[in-house]
Each structure stands twice: as C-alpha cells, then as structure tokens.
Amino acid sequence: MSEVVIRGVGLHTGAAATVRFHPSEGPVRFWLGGVAFRPLASRVVETTRSTVLAEQEARLMTVEHLLAALYIRGVWQGLLIEVEGPEVPILDGSAQEWLAALEGLVPQGPPPQPLPGSLRVAEGKSSVLAQPAAQFSLTVSIFFPHPKIGYQQVQCPPTPLKALAPARTFGFLHEVEALRAQGLIQGASLENALVYSREGFVNTPRMLQEPVWHKALDFLGDLYLAGRPYLGQFMVHRGSHRLHVELAKLLQDPTW
Ligand SMILES: [Zn+2]
C-alpha cells in the first residue's frame, strides 16, 4: 500500500492528531510515543463517551471508529498504525474515511472462531448478548425519548456492515454545555456530529436511523478489542462502550 496519512482533531480533546498506516508483520498494532501495543480489551482504561487504550506511558482516546473500519475490512494483521496525538481524529464523526483509507489492504487475520458459549453482560436497561451461531449476525437497538429517535433497530444482515460506516456520532444540543464543562467534546462541531435539538435536528441526518447505525458501528469497534473475529449472534440493546468492552474482555483470546 502507498503511505496513508490522515490528519484531524480529536472529538473530546480538540487536539490535532496524525495517523499513518504502515505495512507490518504480525497482528495490528498502534505505535504511539515509542510504544507499540495491540488494540485489546485488556488495555482499555476508560469508556466514558469513547474507548480509551493505554500501554505504559502511551494513552490513546476514541479508537472505536478506526477499529470499526478494521473490523468491517477484516484486517487483523499486517498493519502498524502510527499515531501522533492523544486521540484518534474524529474526521466526519463516522468510520467512512477510515474505511476508504483501508481500501488497499488485503483482509487478513485468524479465521472466525465459534463463541465459547452464550455470554451476557448487562447494566440497568442495557444489555449485550452473544450466542453461538454458524454465521456472524448483529442486532442493535436503542431507545431515546426524543421525538425524532424513539426506538430504533438495525440488523446485519440484511444491512451490510460497510453500510454502517457513514453513520456519525450523535449528540444532543442541551448536553453540549455540561459535556464541555467536563472537558469532553472540545473538538465537536456540526461537521463531525449529528446534533439533535429538543424537538428536532440541528443538522441533517445522513440516513433514516443514523443513531442506531452509529451505535452498531461503535459496537464493532469495541468488539474488535477481542483481538480476533468470532462467529455468533450478537444482540445489543442500549449499548455503551463500557458494556461492549466487557463483552470483548470475555472474548479476548490470549492464544492469538
Ligand atoms: Zn462512535
């Protein structure tokens, strides 16, 4: 592959960052501040509004959309991802540009493995269920008491995973001040998020059910942290990075 360089700002830090893809032997790894590490659930140190990895002194925020693109492309091996900056750039808030950047790569990695059994993680009204099946399938649903959202569900298949890629991060205008005060979403704008007002939209959705499609994308990114693909039926209701990562921890395969 010719060298791929992607620049942008982080959603939460607002910090400029550069990402370079380098062909490399072995499992997919990040390279940050002189430290190389695999994106694995055991390295997750925070799941508040984004998934954060850390290894020694290196800490990298908001890895989920880039990892979702790797999941969709089937790339588990042969790539070193060099990052300068504290956070993976948010770009347009979706995984579309990451997916395009990975286009020249050959899918490679271990063969999908059957699930070890049925697994369930839950917290309040949120749950993630994984059940053995001969094929991979994913059902994601959300509920927000908002006139333009309500209950939404997406099933893959029939929706192809790559169709999820353009779905953007979403948020609510009335939460912006509180999140900014917590030091979050310093880089958020109408260029990288679908924003809802109390009654409607501030900008225009790209697809009918963009929020749930984005949740499915977030789930794929977090599931990538299992370190290898699995066959099975995955069902996520009102998912969060915390629950997704809990499942990935149960699936993280120490042998590969
Ligand atoms: Zn996301």
The overall pTM is greater than 0.75:
yes
Taking the centre of ligand 1 as the mean of its atom positions, its distance from the CA of residue 218, in whole angstroms, is 5
Taking the centre of ligand 1 as the mean of its atom positions, its distance from the CA of residue 120, in whole angstroms, is 22
Q: Above 90 in pLDDT, residue 256?
A: no
CB contact at 8 A, 68 and 221: yes
One DSSP character per residue, 86-132 reads SB---TTSSSHHHHHHTTTSPPBSSPPEE-SS-EEEEETTEEEEEE-
Domain edges within the chain = 4-111
d(CA 235, CA 201): 28
Q: For strands 136-144 and 77-84, give the pairing.
A: unpaired
The b/e string for 92-130 (b: 16+ C-beta within 10 A; e otherwise) is bbbbbbbbebbeebeeebeeebebeeebebeeeebebbb
pLDDT grade, residue 45 (50/70/90)?
very high
Taking the centre of ligand 1 as the mean of its atom positions, its distance from the CA of residue 64, in whole angstroms, is 6
Taking the centre of ligand 1 as the mean of its atom positions, its distance from the CA of residue 43, in whole angstroms, is 19
Show the tokens assigned to 227: 């370190």
Report pLDDT digits (tens) over 160-190: 999 999 999 999 998 988 888 988 889 998 8
Mean pLDDT rounded to a whole number for the chain:
94
CB contact at 8 A, 10 and 92: no
Rounded to 10 degrees, the C-alpha dihedral 42/46/50/51 comes to -10
Q: Which pLDDT score, from 0 to 100, does residue 254 have?
A: 63
Report pLDDT digits (tens) over 57-111: 999 999 999 999 999 999 999 999 999 999 999 999 999 999 999 998 889 999 9
The b/e string for 14-53 (b: 16+ C-beta within 10 A; e otherwise) is eeebebebeebeebbbbbbeeeebbbbbebbeebebbbbb
| 3 state DSSP class of 235 | strand
Q: Is the dihedral of CA 165, 133, 246, 30 positive or negative?
A: negative
Taking the centre of ligand 1 as the mean of its atom positions, its distance from the CA of residue 95, in whole angstroms, is 9
Q: Which pLDDT score, from 0 to 100, does residue 49 have?
A: 85
The alpha carbon of 27 is separated from its chain's Cα centroid by a whole number of angstroms, namely 18
d(CA 119, CA 154): 21
Which candidate in 65, 214, 237, 241 is catalytic? 241
Q: Is 241 a catalytic residue?
A: yes
Taking the centre of ligand 1 as the mean of its atom positions, its distance from the CA of residue 17, in whole angstroms, is 18
Q: What is the CATH T-level fold of the domain 4-111, as seen in this structure?
A: Ribosomal Protein S5; domain 2 (3.30.230)
Phi first, then psi, for residue 73 (nearest 5°) are: -75, -15
Report pLDDT digits (tens) over 1-15: 567 899 999 999 999
Taking the centre of ligand 1 as the mean of its atom positions, its distance from the CA of residue 217, in whole angstroms, is 7
